[in-house]
Structure 1
Amino acid sequence: MNRSRETYEGLPGGIGVSRLRVYDWPAADGQRGGTPHLHLTCSEGYAVTGGRGAVQTLTTSGFRQTPLAPGALVWFTPGTIHRLVNEGGLEITVLMQNCGLPEAGDAVLTLPPALLTDPETYRAAATLPTEAEATEAEREAAARHRRDLAVEGFTALREATEAGDPEPLGAFHRAAVALARPLAAAWRGRWRDGAAAAAQATGTQLDHLERGAADYLSRASVRAERPVTQGRFGMCGRLDVYDVA
């Protein structure tokens, strides 16, 4: 990527993008779908392209379920616990703020509290085996087990919140920050080279415009990408991932 002050060659605003086919595995509560989690520094957006379903969200304001169907555009800010529910063929284009940060660990699953006590315990429960370490069936089983643990934790958080007890959700927030705090310095560098650089490039372009200078337009460029990974087991479903940074 050209990191000069006047251009940013990633996607607009330094966002990341992926194609998601939401899991249709049934959970203990009868719902089919993905792994509940929150992001610490990234807003997330859904552009629904196929099927039907919903996104369940939990914040200090309470529980909410938002329907998803083709044409729907839904987004939420950091700290929103979210769980995708697949009611039939749900496919989404996912837009993530701060490209690179989600891939660097900016997500914490709603695992039971005993698995959130320290980074090593959390990673052991949250990390899936690689293709080199396990078969497709073994990786699917691991992803389903991880999802089920997170649904268990999410259900407890939802029930406490709906019963008027804010402490379990507050405790989860504190645990999530403690797990991610050692990563914050490295994330700052990714943000500086990504979203911050994209905003800075716009400021530089405005400087050119105010001076009446057109030379920066001669340095325009075009990129076209195909997924670098297809069908990867993600938190919410099978992912096609693009390298847009």
Structure 2
Amino acid sequence: MVMNEFTLPGGIGISHLRAYEWEAEDGVLGGSPHVHLACTEAYVVTAGRGAVQTLSICGYAQTPLEAGVIAWFAPGTVHRMVQGGGLRVTVLMQNSGLPEAGDAVFTFPSDVLGDPAAYAEAAALPKTDDAAKRRRDLAVSGYLPLREALLDGDPAPLRAFHRAAVALVSPKIGDWVPRWQAGALKAAELTGAHLKALADGDGSHLEQSGVRVATPSNPDGYGMCGRRAEYDIDQEGRQG
């Protein structure tokens, strides 16, 4: 019988965000536009108000956010968190470990996206407000032309961005697969093992029950969209 492990449900990642309040070149307060290539992301709004701006082949949208709202977006959706006043969001991320391994790609200008070394330097985790703001501003500078094109009914620049993002991350997939296998896939397979055991009248996995508690491993880091409280929980449910 497979042992019960204390991963978060579904092998998800979780963090808490306080949306940035820095004004961008278009006068909007908020975070760094980016896209995920393999992971669905969800915002659970816990306080304040704001919005999420999204770009997809279907066009541009701005979705209001306030306490109680849950908004989620599939891979390929460029998203930008907008601060409206005290916005606080709990982020649920599919496939924990993949975003940290490079699944999230900023909307930097094409010359940066096309140069892996330049992209890595521009995307590096910031350690100061100034560095985080520079990274955000560079992402916004590449995002605004994509948005303008979609508003004009032209999805070609967004498609070009998608192609550049795929080219940037494709060399990393060999590292992503075992992360996925050890995380989300293993969590799903464990449920299958439990269902089979229950069908056979075997409830031995129930003896592995219990509770685990985690506190933020980095309570005030820099995320893509705001100050980020993150959790470092390994696949056995232990906090690193």
**TM-score of Structure 1 vs Structure 2, range by shorter chain:** over 0.9
Q: Are 2:59 and 2:153, in contact at CA under 8 Å, matched by a contact in 1?
A: no
Q: Percent identity?
A: 54
1:203 paired residue among 168, 192, 215: 192
Q: Give yes or no for the alignment of 1:26 onto 2:23.
A: yes
Aligned length: 234
Q: In structure 2, what is the equivalent of residue 212 of structure 1? A: 201
Counterparts of 1:8 and 1:75, CA distance in 2: 27
Alignment partner for residue 127 of structure 1, among 99, 124, 127?
Answer: 124
Q: How far apart are 1:6 and its partner, in Å?
A: 4.5
Q: What is residue 180 of structure 1 aligned with on the other side?
A: 169
Asked if the contact 1:7–1:198 (Cα under 8 Å) also holds between the matched residues in 2, the reply is no
Report what 2:82 is aligned to. 85
Deviations 1:7-35, CA, capped at 9 Å, x for gaps: 33210000000010000101111110000
- 1:189 corresponds to 2:200: no
Q: TM-score, normalised by structure 1?
A: 0.93
What residue number does 1:232 align with?
221
| Structure 2 equivalent of residue 134 of structure 1 | none
Q: Does 1:158 align with 2:155?
A: no
| Contact kept in structure 1, 2:50 and 2:84, CA below 8 Å | yes
Whole-angstrom CA distance in 2 between matches of 1:47 and 1:15: 14
- The residue type paired with residue 185 of structure 2 is A
Q: How far apart in 1 are the matches of 2:42 and 2:2?
A: 27
**How high is the TM-score relative to the length of structure 2?**
0.94
Moved more, 211-220 or 10-19: 211-220
8 Å contact kept, 1:8–1:197: no
Please point out which of 94, 118, 142 is paired with 2:131: 142
The reply on whether 1:13 has 2:2 as its aligned counterpart is no
In 1, Cα distance between equivalents of 2:104 and 2:4: 29
| Secondary structure at 1:194 match in 2 | helix
> 2: distance between equivalents of 1:17 and 1:84?
17
Cα distance between partner residues in 1 of 2:36 and 2:146:
16
Contact kept? 2:33, 2:80, Cα under 8 Å: yes
- Give the 5 Å matches for 1:45-60: 45-60=42-57
Moved over 6 A (4+): none
Deviations 1:144-196 (A, max 9, x none): 01111111111100111221222211110000001100111111100000000
Q: Is the 8 A contact 1:6 1:200 kept in 2?
A: no
Amino acid at match of 1:109: F
**2:175 and 2:215 mapped to 1: Cα distance?**
27
Q: Which residue of 1 aligns with 2:238?
A: none
Q: Which residue of 2 aligns with 1:104?
A: 101
Distance 1:224 1:37 in 2: 31
User: Is the contact between residue 5 and residue 200 of structure 1 (CA under 8 Å) also seen in structure 2?
Assistant: no
Backbone CA RMSD of aligned residues: 1.2
Q: Unpaired segments of 5 or more residues in structure 2? A: 235-240
What are the equivalent positions in structure 2 for 1:58-77 lying under 5 Å apart? 58-77=55-74
Deviation at 1:221, TM superposition (A): 3.0
Whole-angstrom distance in 2 between the partners of 1:28 and 1:86 = 15
Mapped to 2, the partners of 1:83 and 1:223 lie a distance apart of 33
